[in-house]
Structure 1
C-alpha cells in the first residue's frame, strides 16, 4: 500500500492529561450532537453509546473528491436505466438465482409484480456510491467499491463526522483548516428527495413509511432523517414499521393503496430489507410483495434493489456494456475510469479464467456475494478455500471476483466506546473509503430529479478487511481536502 503522510504531526504535541481530556470532551460533544448508536451487545431503546470515529480527518485529494461528486449523477442515471431493462437484469441474474436463495426471492418478487403490471410509475432512488483511492502512475485515483441502492445509510452521521472534526480542530486552535473540510448537506438532500416524491403522490393526508430492523442499532442516523423530513415539511407524518409488523397490520385497498395505521402511504423508505436476516419467514416476504404491489412510491423499488446487486455491477464492467445505457462517450469514459477489475465466476471459460486468477493470487482479489451491509466478503487465503469448495459447482455463480483496491495508508487515532486511552494511545495505520450520496426521482423514463447531495467517509485499520461501522471494524471519518502534485 502507498504511504501518505498525515497532514498534521501527531500525537498533537499535547501533554498526556490534555490529550485524554480532548478525547473525553470530544466523545461528550459527539453524543450531545447526534453521534450515537445503540449497543449491539447490551441493546436498550433508552440508551446510546458514542459512535466510533477518528480523532482527526483524513487526507483526500481535492480533485479526486470532486471527481466522485461529479460522477454520482451519471451513476444515478445508469442505475435507473439498468432498472428499466428487463432483458439485461434477467441475463445478469439468471445463473445467480439458481444458487442464491435470497437473490432468487427478490427476483421472483420482481417477476410477480412485473407480470401483474407495476402500479406506480414514479421511482425514487437514494443511492450511495463507495470509492477508494488506488495508487497509480499519476497519483491516487478513485475506484468504485460498490453502489448501494437500498438503505444507503450515514446521511446524518456523515454530517456529524465533519462536525466532530471541526470541534477537534477548534479545540486545537486550528481554525484556519476549517476551509479544507467540505460542506456536507447529505441528510437535507436525501430528505428533500423524499418530500418531492411525497408531493408528487399528491395526497396531503398520506404518510412516509420507514421500514426498519427489529432492533435499530443505527438509531441516530435513522431518526435524524425523520426529524429533517418534519423540519422541512412540518405537516408530513412519518411511521416506522418492521416487515413483520407490515405483514400483520398493513392492507391494500381495491385501488391498491397501501394503508398503515389508517393512513395511505405515499413513500416507503427502506432502512431494512437488504439482508436475509430481515426475512424471518414467508410473512416478511409477503409484506415486501404487498408493498411492491401498492401505489406507494418505493425507495427503492424492487427494480432498483436488483440493479444494485454485485452481479449487475460486474456485468456493467464488461467491455462495451456501458454503451447500452449511456450514449455520451465522455460519460462512458468517466464511469469506466472508476471501475476496477470485476469478473464473473460462472461455469464457463471466462469463469474458469477468473477462478485461476483468484487461486494463483488470492491476496489481489475480493470474493463478493450478492449482499449488502458488510461482513459477507472473502479475502486472501479464505478466497482459495471458498473457491476450492465449489470449484465445479453452480454455486460459483452466486459470487463475483473483484480486484482488491489498495488505498494510501495514513495514521490516526480511532476513538471507540469504552476505550481506555490511558493504557494505549498509539497511532494506527488506517485506510479510508469515501461514500457519495445521490438522489434520483423519475416518472417512467422521464428523469425529474438527479443530484449528488453529500458524502460520508469510513476508516479502518489496515489489518481489517471489512469496514462496516456497526460491524465494529470501521469508524466515522471525514475528508480533509488537499491539492496533490501530479507526477
Structure 2
C-alpha cells in the first residue's frame, strides 16, 4: 500500500506532471452549423427507426420511445488496447467461472461483507441454502459477462478494468446498432475512408447464441426461455432485441418475460425440479433484473429467486455467479497470489494483472485502515464502491471523506476503494432527447465493455467465447456514465494507432 502511494501521490500530482491527452478525432471539428443541425435530426430519426431507443423516465409511455442518447461521430480509442481487451475476454470468462465454483474462496472473501451489507447477505443466504441442498457437479451455468475498461492516460492509455458484470450485462442489443448509425453519419459527411476504422460488433448475436446453446443443452424442445425483468423496463429495446433475435435464430424458441413478483405468484417446481411458470416449462432463466435491492420489495421476491435457484432450469447467472461479480471479490482477486489460485500459467497471470488498477479493502485490518487514511488525506485519487450494480452507486473524490466519516469500521466492510482512472479525452457532440440544437462540442471520455459468454459446470467448460463489445461515452467532468441511469451516451469506438 505504501509503495503504491509513493508511485502516485494524488490525482492533482498526476494532472500536473502528465497532461491528460486529447485523442485524435475521426473528423475535423467543428461541423458547419447548418450541416450539423440537419445531420443531428437525420441521426435521431435513424436511431428511432432502427430501434436504438429507450422509454422516457420523465414521460413514460409503453406506446412511445425516445432515441437512446448517442455520440454523433465515434470517439477514438487506442487500437492495441481494444484488441487486448478482446483477446483477454475468454481468460476472464474462465476466471469468473472458476471463482463462481470455488465455495471456499467465496465464503472467505464475502464473510465480513455479508454481515454489514444486507443485500449481498440475502444473496448469500440463498447461496447457502443451495449449497446445503447440494449443487450438483454437472449443474450447468451460463455466464453472459461484461468486462468494463477505461484507458489510463498516464500509463500510455493501458486499459484498466473498472469492473466485471456477471448479472444483467446490458446494451449488447442496442450497441450492435451504433456502428451502423455512426457509419451513416460519417458517410453523410463524406468521410468514407474512416469507416474501415470502426470495428464490427456482433454482441447481439453473441449473447443470444449463448442462450440458444443453453436451451439446446437443456434438451426439451417444448421448454421456453424466461427473462426476469423489472416492473418497468425503460431499456426496452435492448431487452426486446434479444428476444426477437432468439426467435429469428431459432423459430422454435419462445421467450416469456416475468418480474420476480410474478414468479412468486405463478411458479412452482415439478416432480424433478422443473421450473414451471404459468404453465410453461422453463429451460433457461436470463436475469435482466434482480441485481439491486429495489427489485426485491418484499420477501416474496426473495422466495421467487430461491425457487428459481432450486430448479433445474439453466440460470444466467446462477446465484454463485452473481456473487462472483461483487466488488469485494474483485478487490480480493487483486491481492497477491489470488489470480494464481485460479490461473496456473505465469504469462496469463501477468496479462490479467496488467489490466487491474489499485483495489483496497476498507475493513478493520492494517491494510483496510491504511486505505482509509489515504482516502481521507487524498480523496481525489480514489473511487469508493459498494456491492451494487446498475450505476449511480459510487462515491467520488472530495465526497469520499464525508461518506467515510458517516460509516463505522464495521459498515466500511461493505465498501472497497479503487484508484481513480484518468482516461484520455475525445471531443464530439452528445445527442440527447431534449438537448440543445445545434449541440455544442464537449469534452468526452469513453468506457469500453467487452461481452463474454461461457457455459459449463464445476468440472468442465463446454463453450467459451468473446461475444462483442459496448462503448459508452460521458462528459469528461461527469463521475458516472450509465446510459440507463441517464448519465452517458452510446457510442462505437474509432480505432486510432
State the TM bucket, normalised to the shorter chain: over 0.9
Give the structure 2 partner of residue 121 of structure 1.
Answer: 139
Give the structure 1 partner of residue 25 of structure 2.
Answer: 6
Give SS of 2:215's match.
helix
Q: Distance in 2 between matches of 1:472 and 1:421?
A: 19
**1:312-327 map, 5 Å:** 312-327=329-344
* 1:432 maps onto 2:446 in alignment: yes
Give 1:433 shift. Answer: 0.2
Task: Report if the CA contact (8 A) 2:27-2:191 is conserved.
Answer: no
Q: Distance in 1 between matches of 2:161 and 2:105?
A: 21
1:393 corresponds to which of 399, 406, 409? 409
Give 1:162 shift. Answer: 1.3
Give the structure 2 partner of residue 414 of structure 1.
Answer: 430
Q: Distance in 2 between matches of 1:323 and 1:200?
A: 31
Task: Report if the CA contact (8 A) 1:205-1:264 is conserved.
Answer: yes
Give the structure 2 partner of residue 131 of structure 1.
Answer: 149
Give SS of 1:467's match.
coil
**1:296-315 map, 5 Å:** 296-315=313-332
Gap runs ≥5 in structure 1: none
Give SS of 1:451's match.
strand
**1:37-116 map, 5 Å:** 37-116=54-133
Task: Report if the CA contact (8 A) 2:385-2:393 is conserved.
Answer: yes
**1:319-338 map, 5 Å:** 319-338=336-355
Give the structure 2 partner of residue 251 of structure 1.
Answer: 268
Give the structure 2 partner of residue 446 of structure 1.
Answer: 460
1:470 corresponds to which of 470, 480, 484? 484
Give 1:157 shift. Answer: 1.4
Give 1:261 shift. Answer: 2.4
Q: Distance in 2 between matches of 1:267 and 1:355?
A: 43
Superposed CA deviations along residues 155-213 of structure 1, whole A, max 9, x for unmatched, are: 01111111111110111111121110000100101111111110010000000000000
* 1:341 maps onto 2:358 in alignment: yes
Give the structure 1 partner of residue 14 of structure 2.
Answer: none
Task: Report if the CA contact (8 A) 2:154-2:422 is conserved.
Answer: no
Q: Distance in 2 between matches of 1:42 and 1:7?
A: 35
Give SS of 2:255's match.
strand
Give SS of 2:153's match.
strand
Superposed CA deviations along residues 359-412 of structure 1, whole A, max 9, x for unmatched, are: 11100100000000000000112111111122x420000000000000001111
Q: Distance in 2 between matches of 1:11 and 1:33?
A: 27
Give the structure 1 partner of residue 16 of structure 2.
Answer: none
Task: Report if the CA contact (8 A) 2:26-2:194 is conserved.
Answer: no
Give 1:3 shift. Answer: 2.6
Give the structure 1 partner of residue 15 of structure 2.
Answer: none
Give 1:443 shift. Answer: 2.8
Give 1:340 shift. Answer: 0.1
**1:149-228 map, 5 Å:** 149-228=166-245
Give SS of 1:165's match.
helix
Give the structure 1 partner of residue 4 of structure 2.
Answer: none
CA RMSD of aligned residues (A): 1.0
Q: Distance in 1 between matches of 2:164 and 2:477?
A: 24
Give 1:482 shift. Answer: 1.6
Q: Distance in 2 between matches of 1:213 and 1:4?
A: 38
Superposed CA deviations along residues 209-235 of structure 1, whole A, max 9, x for unmatched, are: 000000000000000000110111001
Give the structure 2 partner of residue 369 of structure 1.
Answer: 386
Task: Report if the CA contact (8 A) 1:82-1:88 is conserved.
Answer: yes
Number of residues of Structure 1 aligned to a counterpart in Structure 2: 477
Give SS of 1:121's match.
coil
Give SS of 1:437's match.
strand
Give SS of 2:59's match.
coil
Task: Report if the CA contact (8 A) 1:126-1:149 is conserved.
Answer: yes
Superposed CA deviations along residues 264-295 of structure 1, whole A, max 9, x for unmatched, are: 10000000000101001000000000000000
Give SS of 1:459's match.
strand
Task: Report if the CA contact (8 A) 1:118-1:293 is conserved.
Answer: no
Give the structure 2 partner of residue 460 of structure 1.
Answer: 474
Give SS of 1:327's match.
coil
Superposed CA deviations along residues 71-115 of structure 1, whole A, max 9, x for unmatched, are: 110000000100111111011111101110000000000000110
Task: Report if the CA contact (8 A) 2:77-2:495 is conserved.
Answer: yes
Task: Report if the CA contact (8 A) 1:57-1:479 is conserved.
Answer: yes
Task: Report if the CA contact (8 A) 2:363-2:409 is conserved.
Answer: no
Task: Report if the CA contact (8 A) 2:229-2:289 is conserved.
Answer: yes
Task: Report if the CA contact (8 A) 1:126-1:190 is conserved.
Answer: yes
Q: Distance in 1 between matches of 2:311 and 2:297?
A: 22
Give SS of 1:79's match.
helix
Give 1:7 shift. Answer: 3.1
1:353 corresponds to which of 370, 386, 396? 370
* 1:291 maps onto 2:308 in alignment: yes
Q: Distance in 2 between matches of 1:444 and 1:314?
A: 23
* 1:229 maps onto 2:243 in alignment: no
Give SS of 1:373's match.
coil
Q: Distance in 1 between matches of 2:320 and 2:246?
A: 25
Give 1:255 shift. Answer: 1.2
Give SS of 1:136's match.
helix
Task: Report if the CA contact (8 A) 2:361-2:413 is conserved.
Answer: yes
